[in-house]
A and B are shown apart, each in its own frame.
Chain A
Amino acid sequence: MEKRDSKEFLSMPFTLNLPYRFSGGPFLGKFFRELRDHARLWGNRCPKCRRVMLPPRAVCGACHVPAGQWVEISDRGKLITYTVVVFPMSDPMTGKVKPVPYGFGGIQLDGADSALGHFLEEKDLNNLRLGLRVQAVFKPREERVGDLTDILCFRTIEE
């Protein structure tokens, strides 16, 4: 076996399919249930710093105090950060590769102080700018399952 080392280099493609479940708990549970059943978005307010967190949290990350009252959040908001995805990659939630290029943004919905990351529908990527007004596009009721994919994307709106 003292031949020269093999010059063939092997590589193997793998696909790992990993289904899993997590408990939403009372806070994300309410958030996802309302999203699924009524296409409504709910955040909650920190009683100390008064900010409205979306998605809702049990404890304010800044003040470390239990979150207070529920606040209904608009489905409209503004783009506070964005990027244009040009390198094709599989969506970790579905495993599918979304056709590039597309916009992905941080959206601050009216009534919330935090941002939700989501896909942008805007086809003309030159139109993307900070402050752009967008509105959530929900899946039809029968297709909603109670996770963030119940929102398809955010659509540019004129106001």
Chain B
Amino acid sequence: MSEWMAEQEPFMVNQNLIINYRYFAGQVASRFFSQLRDKKKILGIRCHRCDLVYCPPRSTCGRCFSQLKKWIPLSDKGTLETYTVIHQRQPTYPVEVPFAYGVIRLDGADTGIGHFLGEVEYSRLHIGMRVQAVFQEDRQGNMMDIRYFKPLY
């Protein structure tokens, strides 16, 4: 190693990337989000060939590639399939740590949605726990129209 290199102190460069973008929900997700916003209803969509109900809904079945048309109203209650409790702060998180996050399979659906878990004692979280959606008062037509899922102890 050259002498000048040995004398160098570490030098950290601080940067801040700010990315402005717009997410276009498309036909299927637009309907899902507008029902959340206007009626506090969570919709799934059924594949008639696979007899699978997707939530969040999608336009094409991931298994058989059928076009999906059959909308199904789902319960606001479901089962916790997996979860984690986050303690390490990251700048991209929309909420402060600690917080719990999980995958919830709503009653009537075959797939899970990822969301925050609120009003929760972390020590009592477990797979299979029953949870219920808590909606925002001021809903904007996006996934955060559900504030979080709370446990039904």
Q: What is the interface of chain A, defined by CB distance below 8 A to chain B? A: 1-2, 5-6, 8-26, 28-30, 32-33, 70, 90, 92-95, 145-147
Q: Which residues of B contact A (CB under 8 A)?
A: 4-5, 8-27, 29-31, 33-35, 43, 71-73, 91-92, 140-142
Q: In the complex, which residues of chain A have a beta carbon less than 8 angstroms from the beta carbon of B141? A: 10, 12
| Inter-chain contacts of A17 with B (CB < 8 A) | 16-18, 91-92
A119 to chain B, nearest CB (A): 17
Q: Are A12 and B23 in contact (CB under 8 A)?
A: yes
**Is the beta-carbon distance between A30 and B13 smaller than 8 angstroms?**
no
A23, chain B: closest CB distance, angstroms: 6
Task: State how many angstroms separate the Cβ of A117 from the closest Cβ of chain B.
Answer: 16
Query: What residues of A have a CB within 8 angstroms of the CB of B16 in the complex?
Result: 17-20, 93-95
Residues of B within 8 A of A30 (CB): 4, 8, 11
A-B contact pairs, 20 of them (CB 8 A): A1-B71, A1-B72, A1-B73, A5-B27, A6-B30, A9-B24, A10-B25, A10-B29, A13-B21, A17-B91, A19-B14, A22-B13, A23-B13, A24-B12, A28-B13, A30-B8, A30-B11, A32-B11, A93-B15, A146-B13
Given A18-B16, A24-B11, 17 further pairs, Cβ under 8 A: A1-B71, A8-B30, A15-B19, A16-B18, A16-B20, A16-B92, A17-B91, A18-B19, A18-B91, A18-B92, A19-B16, A20-B15, A21-B12, A21-B13, A23-B11, A30-B8, A33-B11
Q: A19-B91, A29-B10 are in contact. Are A10 and B19 (CB under 8 A)?
A: no
